[in-house]
Amino acid sequence: MTIKEALELAKQSLDNIEAKVLLKHILKEDNSYIIANSNKNISNECEQELLNSLNKINDGYPLQYITHHQEFMGLNFEVNENVLIPQPDTEVLVENAIKFVLDYNKNNNLKESHKTEQDATLKILDLCTGSGAIAISLKKYLPNVQVFASDISEEALKVAKINSKKNDVQIEFIKSNMFENIKEKFDIIVSNPPYIKSNEILKLSKQVQNEPKLALDGGKDGLDFYRIIAKEVTDYLNNGGAVFLEIGFDQGQAVTEMFKNSKIIKDYAGNDRVMVWITK
């Protein structure tokens, strides 16, 4: 089987870009090699790996769990079966949190104890960090803030720690069931918590169903984790701080009722995506 034939075979299960991603992963080569050597035969081992991978993909196994790679906010992240695959919609949360910090400093609208300090005093907590994509992106684009990230899953934290090293940022990781082991207060708390209704998980695509249920299941109505955050967050948030939460497209009204005077930011498709709540 030539590289060209392998690529055509992959395109029966994947789009053109994804097919090239898979082939580059299997061949351990870049785009230029694939283009320049399209008539070259691949090894029997690579051919078998391609066939096995395509069988998995056709059964709903995510491509990212095969390549162990996902791009998010222009950065590279390792992913496996222990973490959700970072999605472009979540970039809306990160972008707005970054904007808040930049405006926070530009307007010198820090709480009294911070007014004579550098923005390094700003502290951000990422609850339910998973792969660490949110926390690491915030630290990468806001290098002078302190970023903490927590998750109940030890395996997820292992992945997040790998990603912090991969992206050369310092994050303080905490194993915690929500706020259970959180001991400090923060200026910003962000989270993409589980928010799928329990009985709707089996209705999702096979690819999503292959992601960790722990990171998907938000309880009977999908709102369990928002209730926890709404109940406890003020104990961990400094005055003038903010909360940024990713939400499901149909959860805006319910979540804003939990956080009075909050606002909703829509994603690029026009769906409700992020709830922002700023304390007085």
Q: Do 85 and 55 fall within a single domain?
A: no
**243 part of a folded domain:** yes
Q: Residues 6 or more apart from 99 whose CB is under 8 A from it?
A: none
Q: State the chain's maximal CA–CA distance in angstroms.
A: 68
Mean pLDDT for the stretch of residues 105-130: 68
Q: Which of the four pLDDT bands, split at 50, 70 and 90, describes residue 120?
A: very low
Q: Are 81 and 56 in contact (CB under 8 A)?
A: no
Residue ranges making up the domain that contains 52:
3-59
CATH number of 196's domain: 3.40.50.150
**71 part of a folded domain:** no
**75 part of a folded domain:** no
Q: Do 90 and 123 fall within a single domain?
A: yes
Assigned token pair, 271? 């769906």
Q: Do 126 and 231 fall within a single domain?
A: yes
Tens of pLDDT along 59-80?
A: 999 999 999 999 999 999 999 9
**131 part of a folded domain:** yes
Q: Do 172 and 272 fall within a single domain?
A: yes
The Cα 141–Cα 94 span in angstroms is 10
**29 part of a folded domain:** yes
Handedness of CA 19, 21, 25, 31 (dihedral sign): positive
Q: Do 103 and 237 fall within a single domain?
A: yes
Q: Do 176 and 252 fall within a single domain?
A: yes
Q: Do 127 and 162 fall within a single domain?
A: yes
**176 part of a folded domain:** yes
**64 part of a folded domain:** no
The Cα 59–Cα 254 span in angstroms is 35
pLDDT at 176: 98
- Does the pLDDT of residue 103 top 90, yes or no? no
- Does the pLDDT of residue 279 top 80, yes or no? yes
Q: Do 190 and 260 fall within a single domain?
A: yes
Q: Do 45 and 134 fall within a single domain?
A: no
Helices (H) and strands (E) in the chain, counts: 11, 9
pTM for this one? Answer: 0.92
Q: Do 166 and 214 fall within a single domain?
A: yes
- Does the pLDDT of residue 118 top 70, yes or no? no
Q: Do 106 and 168 fall within a single domain?
A: yes
Give the chain's domain count: 2
- Does the pLDDT of residue 113 top 70, yes or no? no
Q: Are 175 and 181 in contact (CB under 8 A)?
A: yes
**162 part of a folded domain:** yes
- Does the pLDDT of residue 110 top 50, yes or no? no
Q: Do 244 and 127 fall within a single domain?
A: yes
